[in-house]
Amino acid sequence: MTVLVIGSIALDTLETPFGKAEELLGGAGSYFSLAASVLTPVQLVGVVGNDMPERHLETLRSHGVDLQGVQRVQNGKTFRWSGRYEYDMNVAHTLDTQLNVFGDFKPNLPESYRQTEYVYLANITPGLQLEVLKQVNNPKFVGLDSMNFWIGKPDTKKDLTEVIKRVTAVFMNDSEIRQYTGKYNLFEAARYVLSLGPQVVLMKKGEHGAIAVSREGTFVAAAYPLETVKDPTGAGDSFAGGFMGQLAHSGDTSWAGIKRAIVFGCVIASFAVETFGTDGLMQMTRDAIEQRYEILRQSTMFEALTPSTATVQIA
């Protein structure tokens, strides 16, 4: 099955303790598409300016990503993001965000996108995420990501809440879910988000993996143990690409299927962070993915925490 994604398509300028690079292909939509397309066909919705090098779009196309939903604005500038990571690479410091052509983007989905069953609303203005969701007929599974940039402003936070009420899975990292809910404890925060309607909350914890909370239980997945981490940009989008790609490929949206897809997400994210920009995603092979999946699968406790065991009180 195909996955449809709306999200930023960017030119990124990055700095980590291991290097610097300017105007790389980036954006949540691009990372997600490259990550998911190794597992399942991807339809991308977004917009670029006339300054987006054709070779970047060709990279996406050569990975089988359908770009019919990507508009090119002739007199516009592409979305730009620049960020810096210090030695604690779990925390991204945004230096600059320029929405540019995303500022007045009006998505109009091609007919062939409107029946797609798996939809991912990658990081972009919540109003645009909602607009895309309205144009898809009856999707089976909708994932949603966001970030502090949108959670921190009252009007975009309000739109984000409207989107959360309509999706199946919410992806946030620990600081984002704390900021959104105002609750420090992650399980309490996750339960609050579940009370708005989603079936599962996926909390990304960088090098410590991910925690999923649903009405059926709690699941803790470890990150793949890497010896080299060069650039964490796009880790969350790649995790989501692996997750959604596996879900769409298997068609299994049960709790067991979700748990397996989370492990796929951890594997795909490991390729993304090993090298700068999108290089790791471009180089990964199906065989290497299977090998890392098998290693993580063997050390994962798939049945560990049910709602009753996860909520035992000490006194």
Binding stretches for ligand AMP (CB under 6 A) = 8, 10, 12, 26-28, 81, 92, 97, 123-124, 147, 149, 233-237
Q: Report the nearest approach of ligand AMP to the CB of residue 156 (Å).
A: 10
- Angstrom distance (rounded) from CA 261 to CA 284: 18
Q: Report the nearest approach of ligand AMP to the CB of residue 215 (Å).
A: 27
Based on CB atoms, which residue is closest to ligand AMP, 69 or 234? 234
Q: Report the nearest approach of ligand AMP to the CB of residue 239 (Å).
A: 8
Q: Which residue has tokens 């984000």?
A: 160
Q: Are 32 and 248 in contact (CB under 8 A)?
A: no
CA atoms within 13 A on the CB side of 134: 11
Based on CB atoms, which residue is closest to ligand AMP, 156 or 199? 156
Based on CB atoms, which residue is closest to ligand AMP, 148 or 161? 148
Question: Going by C-beta distance under 8 Å and a sequence separation of 6 or more, which residues neighbour residue 57?
Answer: 48, 67, 70
Q: Report the nearest approach of ligand AMP to the CB of residue 294 (Å).
A: 25
The torsion angle over the Cα atoms of residues 180, 118, 37 and 274, rounded to 10 degrees, is 20
Based on CB atoms, which residue is closest to ligand AMP, 92 or 221? 92
**Helix-strand-coil split of the chain, %, nearest 5:** 40, 25, 35
Based on CB atoms, which residue is closest to ligand AMP, 85 or 113? 85
Q: Are 120 and 240 in contact (CB under 8 A)?
A: yes
Residues forming beta bridges with residue 121, ordered by sequence position: 6, 144
Q: Report the nearest approach of ligand AMP to the CB of residue 314 (Å).
A: 36
